[in-house]
Structure 1
Amino acid sequence: MKSYNGRPTLFVNDTPQVPAFYALTHAYGGRWSWEEVPARNLNNFCQIGFRLFQVDLWLEDLWYPNTDTLDIRKAQHQVRGVLDQCQDASVVIRIHVNAPFWWNKAHPEECTQFADTPVDTTLKAGPPYHNEEHDIHAALRASLASARWKQESGEKLVELCQKLAKTPEGNAVIGMHVAGGIYGEWHYWGFIDHDPDTGPAMTAYFRNWLKTKYKTKEALQKAWQSTTYTLADATVPNTAERLKTQDGFFKDPNQEQRTIDYFTAQQQVVADDAIYFCKLVKDTWPRPIVTGIFYGYLHMTFNRQTVGGHLFIRQVLDSPYIDYLAAPQTYWPDSRKAGGSGNSRGIIESTLLHDKLWFDEIDNGYLHAKNDFENIRYTERYDSTYANIIRRSALLPLMRGIGFWFYDFGPQKGFGWWDNPRYLASMQAEKQLFEKRLTVPYHSEADVLYVWSQDVFYYLKSAPLPITVNVLDHSIEQALRSGTVGDQIYDFDLDRVNLDQYKAVVFMNVYALTDAQRDFIQKKVAKNNRTIIWNYLTGYTNGTRLDLDFVKTLTGMNLERVPTGPAPSVNFLTPGYTYTFSGPVEPLVVVQDKSAQPLARLAGTDQVIIARKQEKEFTSVFCGLPLNGTDGFREIFRQAGCHIYNEQNDFTYANSGLLLLHTKAGGTRTIRLKNGKSISVPLKQGTTLLLDAQTGEIVLQ
């Protein structure tokens, strides 16, 4: 992986590649490359020009009880099955490094335990069940803090690399996608509904982590404001402690550092695991090899980020042992279905800034209206609405400078999701277009910058909140359909971007800022007549305390806290519309500043909840409740001077000279190009068009 024309690029045998893969499923019934239906689909994609493929393997498949060495025949067979269908294929192996189920049973003391429920040893996984069966429940799984699991699985991964690299099949292997945790996505076991990990392995890890941080008992007790614990006997917080907050949604670092420390330690151990296994691959494989992981999820992460999310993203992005990150495209229905943005779950422009490639996993075949038909009934299985979705799903990542793989659950039902000549012809045309564009330099067309935080979750209640899913999934989807083009980065990358290109900066969920970050924003970001949208309580904590004055200083507005209602509503004034949150929002803050222009009021009151204020060097827009509504986003961006391509609430995106238009409804669209030219485009219902951003000419339809 190296930079090529301004973007991280995969090279195979010194040749740059369009980062487009076909991947078989991990699920039984469709996972083995040599079986009839998977083989047919591998061949389909080979015939349309795909040469990059991914297959799944589990240590379970190769590492048997009461044996000292791996049996790598299935690994060879899996790669050979791809080569039998495409002799010049390049293969990435998704290797699941989770301990085999027999290992978990043999070492229960090394397994995850839960603060809210006992381990359920009756839950079955492995044949005839899927290997990941019950991962999201309180199942018996090796703790991600287990030193023994890490060492022994690491030894087996090294053995696999050493043996496979010497085989003919190993010559076709270009990468290892290292998978662990729930679904191989490095989520902590059981995290959605349960509270891991109170087991001996995690407890020992936590105590060692505390010794590294605090060094003395006195320092620990001062930080925790308690004499109950020492470095030798500190325990993992229970569920009540984890859910407790001192200030509405927020944890006060002065009073709840014990819980914040635990979540930080748990997040670090997961990231350290992933980096450790990737380093083993890099160090062992005798030739250059690409390594990647599922990591960096922000959108659609079930409101449980502190327990099972990916908060150590900065450390992962900085690791030299990881070449790419990946995730399924967001499962948020409004984003994934027809008319939606197809947004990635990660923060893409930050990933590129750290010279990492990102891969979207396209696994949306289930959206096809008739996906239970057998594979030979092409007419019934072709659906123009679904074709529109998959075209958007493929074109958007390629335009953004990242890649994708079609992840095919179809074979387990007896056919491939994309086993249809019309789908395959469309995929072939897309790939051929971007092969020609490999030499076109990457250039962001965005003039909106969305800024996100992962660290903020340490200071939020670890439960579904009315603001979290709203901002991370619902609100951003509405913003992305405003007809503007935006980049998305993490707060820690503000000093890496070219701020001059952005006319509006939206701090989406950045309720935590260090003193240094806040200073940088005031000195570098809030300048040049830029519009800054402070979406809820930007910078409410600096990591040591909660303080509304932090927010007042950033926004330049006088803010006052008011009692919260059961489910607050916002009346946006121009354009006029109303939106309501799913429950109480606390703290709730309104604007009491006569020099600020009201943009929205708290429903049922005359209190200003969103306001704009002209400062000397920037325009400040404060949202006491998170901003919702495509029309509202568009109007704020219009006033900021951002370019609006399309007024019709479709998903519109531009990058590197191309313009993407994805719609659900038909009708004529007027598209205003940046050079001032306007074009009229008549559209059928459900259309994805690729246009030349300078001329408006259709490039692909």
Structure 2
Amino acid sequence: MNKIRTHIRITIFLALCISFDAQAQQQACATVKIKAGVPALYINGKAYPPYAYMSYLGEEKYYREVAAAGLHLYNIPAYLGDRGINSTSGIKPFRTAVWKGKGEYDYSSIIQDFEKLLRADPEAKVIIRFHLDPPVWWEKENPDAVCRLPDGSGYRTSYASRKWQQEAGEVLKKAIKWVMNSPYGAHLVGIHVAGGFTEEWFYHYKDLFYDESNVRKTAFRDWMKQRYANNTAALRKAWNDPAISFDQVQPADISGAERKREWRSTATDQRYFDTFDFQATTMADHIAWFCKIVKETSNNCLLTGAFYGYHYFVPDPRRGHGALAKLLNCPYLDYLSSPNDYNRVVGEDWAPMAAIKSVQLHGKLWLAENDTRTTLTTLLRDRAPAVAPAGDWYTNGVWIGPDKMETSVALLQKNLARMLAYGYGGWWFDMWGGWFSDPALLAVLKQGQQFFYQYPDTLFPAMQPQVAVVVDERLQSWDKDYGGLTATITGNRYALGKTGAPYDLYLRTDLNKVPAGKYKVIWLMGVMEPNKQEQMWITQWAAEGRMVIHTDGYATTIYDRKKLTQPTVINQLQWSATALGELWDRAGVHRYLDTEDVVYAGRGWVSVHTAKGGAKQVKLPFYARVTDPVTKETIVNFAKIVPLEMQPGTTRLLRVVPVTHPGKQ
């Protein structure tokens, strides 16, 4: 039977080869280079619009619509295994598994996706999102590589397993070679390496996390020997245990069965810090491992990327997203991604889930997953009942789009405006298909492509943010509440988004790279126990006239030049947009608006997204000619104040060009 199936697949593939132009097509080559101060996408040596389209169902009619809108970059899904992406919801697989058995591979789902896509758009350039979790048969044949629950039963592959990593890597390598040597090879430009819960490199678990497998214990001990340079004395001092040895160390219980509303201490809880760091670096190492395979297999011609670094939104350290700083040093990684913040209401900033200024600082492109619900959004059970799980997991809450088409347009415009103003890209994620299938919505997708060519990307130094926010991705490791306390602090992102002033978000590990001279406010938000060097920087910045705000887990301290010796200490962790705006005014930060609307500003773009609407007076940092980039209407010819009249639940996008006097551009 296996021989028959293999023969059928080979026959289909050969038939497809014949259907293509006999002339060999050149392999595309994609990379990321710095352009106008930020990482940018290049394909075959030319700057390329960093906007793509993806759908889990991948229907030809929707491909045709986005191609007509000018998009030619696509993501398609592929799966080594045979499970759904969400191990909690019970969702079924979107595609058949590639990895059928030892040495047996089935590329039919990839063939079908390419065929549908290329019929709709012969110019298509494709990034394949490969989910690298293994199939069920592999786990049955490799019980030592599976997580062990307290009762001894198994639960999904242990990410501590080197055997899974190596064998999945070999399968990925074969799949890449197959695609590159197929008639579709000329259209392939990248591989998005995916794994874990929802393809986002989260550990699989439900309410509690357990992995008591020997493979995890062994991996942890090996990792600890490296961390402490095999120095037993250093281990005993750190763990406050005079008898411990490397052969005895075991990960701490991070199941979450016990939690408290308090912070851990470095003096007594180092075992937990080490366990969480192991948890995170293990995932980051997997991403680096698979990205290296992609680069080596493609002779450095394929783009590499992954979901990772969700410290600004996912506060639970068990998920494994606490090693972004390490991953940013990976030479094989080109881009990182996350969905936008899931507080999907009108009038809020849907920020990316990571410190994207640090991502850009390290030369990595940021690509947002714009899985924005619209009035056309349908339920999975209606679009693909064979895939949808039982129950109501995908039927309410965030899965429901807005009632009005006008609101849907405004939300897509907000997505686009944020990408334009801060120099990154993303893909329009049409999850079940048809979410953007309306002329008004497709027009927004088209605008992104048009603006890329009509308005060359420029740094615009006068528009650069004057506020720097510094966050610690390891803050969640301190949190005995497994994210409850951490979320209180990182929840300040909602107020930050409505101060009327843009801000740059850095990792604590990049504090030495923060160009303090360009910022009037530096907020260390959620930075526990600053070391001596960090304390010196705080003092230095305040002495230079910067306002420095330091929020740890207990209070907020505000330093400025007038109160350098007696800083203000406030027993407060969360701030309102109004209170932050008052601090910004005190520090002399330029605010485009003071109405608590969402403002994006930078690189020649200003956008206002409002829940309430009304008259707005947008204040620019220079005299400018301001136009509507869609209608080409001139709003002001020479002004610092831009009057806008806005309806509730709308977004306005403005193009600003500095001018020295009326009539000059």
Is TM more than 0.5 here?
yes
User: Counterparts of 1:237-248 in structure 2 under 5 Å?
Assistant: 237-239=252-254
Q: Deviation digits for residues 46-91 of structure 1, max 9, x if unmatched?
A: 0110010000000124544444132323323322321121101100
Q: What residue number does 2:368 align with?
A: 360
Q: What residue number does 1:657 align with?
A: 604
Contact 1:611 1:622 in 2 (8 A): yes
Give the secondary-structure state (helix, strand or coil) at the position aligned to 2:651: strand
- Going from structure 1 to structure 2, the CA distance change for 1:619 and 1:288 (only over 3 Å counts) comes to farther
- Going from structure 1 to structure 2, the CA distance change for 1:212 and 1:485 (only over 3 Å counts) comes to closer
Contact 2:423 2:603 in 1 (8 A): no
Identity among equivalent positions (%) equals 25
TM-score in terms of structure 2 length = 0.81
Q: What residue number does 2:306 align with?
A: 293
- Is the aligned partner of 1:212 residue 2:226? yes
Q: Deviation digits for residues 525-558 of structure 1, max 9, x if unmatched?
A: 3332111112245xxxxxxxxxxxxxxxxxxxxx
In 2, Cα distance between equivalents of 1:253 and 1:370: 47
Deviates more, 1:655-664 or 1:228-237: 228-237
TM-score in terms of structure 1 length = 0.77
Contact 2:236 2:244 in 1 (8 A): yes
Q: What residue number does 2:173 align with?
A: 158
> 2:455 aligned to 426, 430, 437, which one?
437
Contact 1:188 1:196 in 2 (8 A): no
In 1, Cα distance between equivalents of 2:175 and 2:210: 30
Give the secondary-structure state (helix, strand or coil) at the position aligned to 1:253: coil
* Residue type of the alignment partner of 1:21: A
* Residue type of the alignment partner of 1:678: I
- Going from structure 1 to structure 2, the CA distance change for 1:225 and 1:79 (only over 3 Å counts) comes to same
Q: What residue number does 1:97 align with?
A: 132
> 1:257 aligned to 270, 283, 287, which one?
270
Give the secondary-structure state (helix, strand or coil) at the position aligned to 1:424: helix
User: Counterparts of 1:472-491 in structure 2 under 5 Å?
Assistant: 472-473=490-491, 475-491=492-508
In 1, Cα distance between equivalents of 2:404 and 2:329: 43
Q: What residue number does 2:73 align with?
A: 52
* Residue type of the alignment partner of 2:592: Y
In 1, Cα distance between equivalents of 2:292 and 2:569: 44
- Going from structure 1 to structure 2, the CA distance change for 1:243 and 1:623 (only over 3 Å counts) comes to farther
* Residue type of the alignment partner of 1:187: F
> 1:321 aligned to 318, 332, 339, which one?
332
Q: What residue number does 2:470 align with?
A: 451
Please tell me the root mean square deviation across aligned C-alpha atoms, in Å: 2.7
Q: What residue number does 1:349 align with?
A: 357
Structure 1: runs of 5 or more not aligned: 122-139, 538-587, 590-608, 697-701
- How far the C-alpha of 1:231 sits from its partner, in A, is 1.6
Q: What residue number does 1:15 align with?
A: 46
Q: What residue number does 2:198 align with?
A: 183
- Going from structure 1 to structure 2, the CA distance change for 1:429 and 1:108 (only over 3 Å counts) comes to same
* Residue type of the alignment partner of 2:346: A
Q: What residue number does 1:109 align with?
A: 144
- How far the C-alpha of 1:661 sits from its partner, in A, is 0.6
In 2, Cα distance between equivalents of 1:187 and 1:440: 36
Give the secondary-structure state (helix, strand or coil) at the position aligned to 1:500: helix
- How far the C-alpha of 1:637 sits from its partner, in A, is 0.7
Give the secondary-structure state (helix, strand or coil) at the position aligned to 1:56: strand
In 1, Cα distance between equivalents of 2:368 and 2:566: 35
Q: What residue number does 1:231 align with?
A: 246
Contact 2:78 2:130 in 1 (8 A): yes
User: Counterparts of 1:360-439 in structure 2 under 5 Å?
Assistant: 360-365=368-373, 368=375, 371=378, 383-411=405-433, 416-439=434-457
Q: Deviation digits for residues 101-146 of structure 1, max 9, x if unmatched?
A: 22123323211235xx65776xxxxxxxxxxxxxxxxxx2111110
- Going from structure 1 to structure 2, the CA distance change for 1:318 and 1:242 (only over 3 Å counts) comes to farther
- Going from structure 1 to structure 2, the CA distance change for 1:512 and 1:499 (only over 3 Å counts) comes to same
In 1, Cα distance between equivalents of 2:559 and 2:102: 68
Give the secondary-structure state (helix, strand or coil) at the position aligned to 2:455: helix
User: Counterparts of 1:55-204 in structure 2 under 5 Å?
Assistant: 55-60=76-81, 61-114=96-149, 118=151, 140-190=155-205, 193-204=207-218
- Going from structure 1 to structure 2, the CA distance change for 1:342 and 1:259 (only over 3 Å counts) comes to closer
Contact 1:203 1:236 in 2 (8 A): yes
- How far the C-alpha of 1:148 sits from its partner, in A, is 1.0
Q: What residue number does 1:684 align with?
A: 647
Contact 1:189 1:196 in 2 (8 A): no
- Is the aligned partner of 1:639 residue 2:657? no
Give the secondary-structure state (helix, strand or coil) at the position aligned to 1:659: strand
Q: What residue number does 1:337 align with?
A: 345
- Going from structure 1 to structure 2, the CA distance change for 1:681 and 1:408 (only over 3 Å counts) comes to same
* Residue type of the alignment partner of 2:652: L
Q: Deviation digits for residues 616-663 of structure 1, max 9, x if unmatched?
A: 779955433214211111111101111121121100121012111111
In 2, Cα distance between equivalents of 1:72 and 1:616: 66
Contact 2:550 2:557 in 1 (8 A): no
- How far the C-alpha of 1:228 sits from its partner, in A, is 5.6
Give the secondary-structure state (helix, strand or coil) at the position aligned to 2:512: coil
Contact 1:536 1:624 in 2 (8 A): no
Structure 2: runs of 5 or more not aligned: 1-31, 82-95, 384-401, 624-639, 660-665
- Going from structure 1 to structure 2, the CA distance change for 1:440 and 1:694 (only over 3 Å counts) comes to closer
Contact 1:17 1:435 in 2 (8 A): no
Contact 1:337 1:389 in 2 (8 A): no
* Residue type of the alignment partner of 2:352: S
Contact 1:109 1:200 in 2 (8 A): yes
Q: Deviation digits for residues 572-628 of structure 1, max 9, x if unmatched?
A: xxxxxxxxxxxxxxxx56xxxxxxxxxxxxxxxxxxx87776547799554332142
Contact 2:543 2:560 in 1 (8 A): no
Deviates more, 1:77-86 or 1:165-174: 77-86
Contact 1:360 1:404 in 2 (8 A): yes
Q: Deviation digits for residues 374-418 of structure 1, max 9, x if unmatched?
A: 99xxxx98610121111101221122111110111233xxxx100
* Residue type of the alignment partner of 2:250: T
In 2, Cα distance between equivalents of 1:62 and 1:426: 35
- How far the C-alpha of 1:489 sits from its partner, in A, is 1.0
Q: What residue number does 1:136 align with?
A: none
- How far the C-alpha of 1:274 sits from its partner, in A, is 0.8
- Going from structure 1 to structure 2, the CA distance change for 1:454 and 1:618 (only over 3 Å counts) comes to farther
- Going from structure 1 to structure 2, the CA distance change for 1:382 and 1:372 (only over 3 Å counts) comes to farther
